[in-house]
Homo-oligomer: A and B are copies of this chain.
Amino acid sequence: MATIRDVARKAKVHPSTVSRVFSGKASISEATRKRVLSAAENLGFQPNAIARSLKTQKTHTIGMVVPHVFEGFFDDSFFPQIMRGMLEAAYQHHFRLIVSGSQGYTDEISQIKDIMRSSQADGIVVMSSRLDVDTVDRLLELDTPFVLIGHPPKENHHQISWVDADNQIATRKAIQHLINLGHKQIAYVGGDPKNLTTRERQQAYEDTMRASGLAIEPNWIDYGYFDEPGGYTAVQRMKTLGNNAPTAYYAANDLMAVGILRALTELGRCVPEEVSVMGTNNSYLSQHTTPALTTVDVPYAEIGKKAVELLITQVTNLNKTPSSYLEDCHLVLRSSTGPVASSNQPDQSGRSH
Q: How many of chain A's residues touch chain B, expressed as a range? A: 35 or more
A115, B96: Cβ atoms under 8 Å? yes
Which chain B residues border A131 with CB–CB below 8 Å? none
Nearest CB to that of A63 among chain B residues? Answer: B96
Query: What residues of chain B lie closer than 8 Å to A195, measured between beta carbons?
Result: none
Copies of this chain, tallied across the complex? 2
A258 — which chain B residues lie within 8 A by C-beta? 288
CB of A16 within 8 Å of the partner chain: no
Are B96 and A102 in touch, CB under 8 angstroms?
no
Q: Check B91–A69 contact: CB distance below 8 A.
A: yes
B101 & A98 in contact (Cβ 8 Å cutoff): no
Asked if B117 and A1 make an inter-chain contact with CB atoms under 8 angstroms apart, the answer reads yes
Are B54 and A51 in contact (CB-based, < 8 A)?
A: yes
Knowing A59-B50, A290-B290, the reply to whether A75 touches B284 (Cβ < 8 A) is yes
Instruction: Indicate whether A77 reaches chain B with its CB closer than 8 angstroms.
Output: yes
Q: Quick check: B66 and A87 within 8 Å, CB to CB?
A: yes
Contact pattern, A 97-136, Cβ under 8 Å of B = 1, otherwise 0: 1111111000000000111011110000000000000000
Q: Is A285 part of the contact surface with B, judged by Cβ < 8 Å?
A: yes
Checking B53, B73, B102 against A84 with a beta-carbon cut-off of 8 angstroms, the contacting residue is B73
- What residues of chain B lie closer than 8 Å to A166, measured between beta carbons? none
Q: A100-B96, A285-B288, A288-B288 are in contact. Are A114 and B46 (CB under 8 A)?
A: yes
A266 part of interface (Cβ distance < 8 Å)? no
**26 CB < 8 A contacts A-B:** A1-B117, A44-B117, A46-B113, A48-B119, A49-B120, A50-B54, A50-B59, A51-B119, A69-B88, A69-B91, A71-B84, A74-B80, A83-B83, A88-B101, A96-B98, A96-B100, A96-B115, A97-B99, A97-B100, A98-B99, A99-B99, A258-B288, A284-B285, A288-B288, A288-B290, A290-B290
The 9 closest A-B pairs by CB, nearest first: A91-B101, A49-B118, A46-B117, A74-B80, A75-B284, A290-B290, A87-B101, A80-B80, A50-B119
